[in-house]
Amino acid sequence: MKLRLILGDQLSLSMSSLADADKDDMILMCEVREEATYVKHHKKKIVFLFSAMRHFAQTLKTDGFNVQYVHYDDPENTGSLRGEVARLMNEHSIDEVIVTSPGEHRLLMDMQQWADEIGTPVSIRPDDRFLCTTEEFATWATDRKQLRMEYFYREMRQKYGVLMTDDGPIGGQWNYDADNRKSPPKNLSVPAPFHAEIDAITEDVITLVTDHFADHFGNIDPFHFAVTRDGALQALDMFVDERLAMFGDYQDAMIQDEPWMYHSHIGLYLNCGLLTPLECIARAEAAYHEGDAPLNAVEGFIRQILGWREYVRGIYWLKMPDYKTMNALDANRSLPEFYWTADTQMNCMRQCITETKQNAYAHHIQRLMVLGNFALIAGLDPEQVNDWYLLVYADAYEWVELPNVSGMILFADGGVMASKPYAASGAYINKMSNYCGSCRYKHTVKNGPNACPFNYLYWDFIDRNADKLRGNPRMGFMYKTLDRMSDDKRDAIRMDTDRFFKQIAADEKV
């Protein structure tokens, strides 16, 4: 008999580990302490995954499979995947363990030792839910001086024939990002997000998480994520029908008390297997051809899946394990407490952290240009920042989180992914949001107690990293501006920065 292990982010009947499954095989799914607590994942994230796992196990049982499901509070639960595999090996006659390759390097390294430890062959199959294999990406990356996503994305478009004609890309352009940066107008009417009903299985999981994960970050209520494939498909349909048309124009916009905006909110379903990339791409492309959504919106959405998602996974497996410890800018400041509490006078930070606590979600500009921008210009320690991003978002797994944070947000990889650091002052946040109007600080004030901290922290970041960044061709204008500053101006920037971090060290509210 074969033992087929299904991980919590592999909730798809098309998984390679199930490809040739026999009804006599044993399928193992388990909720284990090691995976739920290696960082203190958001409570809502754990509810989502445990409930989705239980629903998927129910689907497998309905299809006639022999499923062994280990609940978190089962008194015999060993607390680790390896321990649960070994426990079943002792109880049953198993001649092979089959699993689809996990999405995290640490877990793959562990699994590669299992065969020797349990004395039974362990077959680790490729994760074929992705559209570019790790081998294909490595081949693409060979001998390239710069691993820029745009060129990878174009090849993926051609490979899959997405938004293409015989003469090239539909519309004559590969990328419409320049059309997707509109500031939010007043009185923008944003549709309500998808809400799934809570059933008895989810209720049981909510009780479990409330009892066992009380010290974890975030709120469980309100819980409205889909936990089945049918629900995930409904969420995809709702996005295409109600939000896709405006997604392009306002995908970078931020509005106070509107956390969901026109985004799809399907990353968590894609990353755990309830949705597949090609079906999401096909649904959006069909909307364009049917005249229901403009090209800039559809191309922008597809680029996130066919381009960015595949690209960051490729970078992760290409560069691990060294990628995890990169710190090109020698950033070492501790993560401020307000990342956990949202207790800050910086309204943009307060809004994004509060919404993250409530929803286990923030859209990409909130993550990159508010929360991440602050982490970058404040010089926060990459390990602490990575742990925070990994645990707070329901769609976060290390393969997608680490390149986005270390590469795109913190420039900790020294430019493997980004051509320059994504640093910005308060002017950018004011342009792309209405946060600044309700802030105690003034985005137009550059120095002093009333100045937006992003303003002086930005120039302090430019100044203190001059030896590392001055030679970057895309940073030339910033350093020319810095060089023209008077000594008094530069002293004021340093004094403001020093005062700000002394206030944090003294547990003062900043």
pLDDT-above-70 percentage for the chain: 100
H-helix segments, 171-276: 200-212, 229-242, 244-250, 267-272
In one-letter notation, the amino acid at residue 383 is E
Residue 491 token pair: 């002293």
Residue 352 is assigned to a structural domain of this protein: yes
Q: What CATH number has the domain bearing residue 85?
A: 3.40.50.620
Please check whether residue 441 lies inside any domain of the structure.
yes
- Say if residue 368 is in the same domain as residue 456: yes
User: 330 in a domain, yes or no?
Assistant: no
Name the phi and psi angles at 470, rounded to 5. Answer: -60, -35
pLDDT of 3-37, one tens digit each?
Answer: 999 999 999 999 999 999 998 899 999 999 999 99
Cβ neighbourhood burial of 76 (10 Å; 0-12, 13-18, 19+): exposed
E strand segments, 101-163: 122-125
- pLDDT, one tens digit per residue, over 231-244 is 999 999 999 999 99
**Rounded mean pLDDT of 130-149?**
94
Q: Residue 73: CB partners within 8 Å, gap ≥ 6?
A: 208, 212
In this prediction the pTM is 0.95
pLDDT at 72 over 90: yes
pLDDT at 52 (0 to 100) = 98
CA distance 118 to 88: 11
Q: For residue 505, report the phi and psi dihedrals to the nearest 5 degrees.
A: -65, -30
Q: Decide: 370 and 348 in contact? Cβ < 8 Å.
A: yes
The answer, yes or no, to whether residue 188 has pLDDT greater than 90, is no
User: What is the torsional sign of CA 386, 388, 390, 396?
Assistant: negative
Q: What residue spans of 63-133 are helical by DSSP H? A: 81-91, 105-111, 114-118
Is residue 165 located within the same domain as residue 260? yes
State the pLDDT at residue 284. Answer: 97
pLDDT of 178 reads 81
The answer to whether residue 478 is domain-embedded is yes
The answer to whether 106 and 130 are in contact (CB under 8 A) is no
Spatial neighbors of 38 by CB under 8 A, at least 6 apart, are none
Count: domains in the chain:
3
Q: Does 219 map to a domain?
A: no
Supply the angle between the helices 229-242 and 277-289 in degrees, to the nearest 10. Answer: 30
Q: In this structure, are 114 and 23 located in the same domain?
A: yes
Which of 98, 125, 152 delimits the end of a domain? 125
For 359-402, what is each residue's pLDDT tens digit?
999 999 999 999 999 999 999 999 999 999 999 999 999 999 99
The verdict on whether omega for the bond into residue 184 sits within 30 degrees of 0, i.e. cis, is no
Question: Residue 279 — very low, low, confident or very high, per pLDDT cuts 50/70/90?
Answer: very high
Task: Indicate the residue type of 120.
Answer: T
Above 90 in pLDDT, residue 259? yes
In the β-sheet with 66-70, what is the strand arrangement from edge to edge?
66-70, 26-30, 2-5, 96-100, 122-125
**Left if phi > 0, otherwise alpha if psi is -120 to 50, otherwise beta: which for 267?**
alpha
Instruction: Please indicate, yes or no, whether residues 42 and 162 belong to a single structural domain of this protein.
Output: no
Give the integer Cα–Cα distance in Å for 464 and 466: 6
Report the DSSP pairing between strands 168-169 and 164-165: antiparallel
Mean of pLDDT over the chain: 95
**Dihedral-angle region of residue 124 (phi above 0 means left; psi in -120 to 50 means alpha; beta otherwise):** beta
Give the domain extent around 465: 338-505
Residue 168 DSSP label: E
Is the pLDDT assigned to residue 462 strictly greater than 90?
Answer: yes
Which of 125, 148, 170 finishes a domain?
A: 125
pLDDT of residue 193: 93
Distance between CA atoms of residues 54 and 8, nearest Å: 10
Q: Is residue 11 a contact partner of residue 274, using CB atoms and an 8 Å limit?
A: yes
